[in-house]
Structures are given as C-alpha cells and as structure tokens.
Amino acid sequence: MESMLNKLKSTVTKVTADVTSAVMGNPVTREFDVGRHIASGGNGLAWKIFNGTKKSTKQEVAVFVFDKKLIDKYQKFEKDQIIDSLKRGVQQLTRLRHPRLLTVQHPLEESR
C-alpha cells in the first residue's frame, strides 16, 4: 500500500513540475495569475487549460497553453503545419466578437 502511495505521489509531483515549467516559462504569466489545471484538449491533449485571473482587472479567465513538446514526434513539415493551423485559429478567434464565444485577451506568444 505504501509503495503504491509513493508511486502516486511521484507521478503527481512529475506532472505538476511539467505543467508548472510550461506555464511559468510562458510570457502570459506576466498579465495573468494562473491557477489549477482544469482540462486538456485537442489532438494528443496538447492544449492544457488552466483557471486564471487577469491581474489588472481581476476578471476570471481560462488560460490555454499549447505544449509544443508533444508534437516533437512529428517531422518538421508536419510540425510546421500544426503550428500554422494553431496560429490561424487564434487569429480567426481574435477577429470574432459574440457573447457566446471566447475572446482572446492576450496575443499569441511563443516560448521555449
């Protein structure tokens, strides 16, 4: 029983460290307080979604972070297509305005 708890603790610690490094290295954290991980989505669950708050207005937000490490298994051409598709999607969402749609609060930025 104790070894199972240790294994669980180790797994949770690793996942927390991975997510924290992805979020803390992202420039979005300058403008937003990023909370807990609430969901994952997209192909390979590469999008990580976190609760958050915009620091300047205290408005509740959802912070979407794309983990580029998860597409390393693809060839360069395929990776470039995926990244281009993501950028186009964000650009389109930035132009759309409707009360039932997400709004982009911060432009798309890349970090390592």
pLDDT exceeds cutoff 90 at 11 = no
pLDDT number for residue 23? 52
**CA distances from residue 47 to 15, 26, 35 in whole angstroms, order as listed:** 15, 14, 15
pLDDT number for residue 25? 58
Any residues with CB less than 8 A from the CB of 90 and at least 6 apart, and which?
104, 108
pLDDT number for residue 58? 93
Q: Is 46 helix (H, G, I), strand (E, B) or coil?
A: coil
Task: State mean pLDDT over 34-51.
Answer: 87
Task: State mean pLDDT over 41-53.
Answer: 85
Q: Average model confidence (pLDDT) for the chain?
A: 80
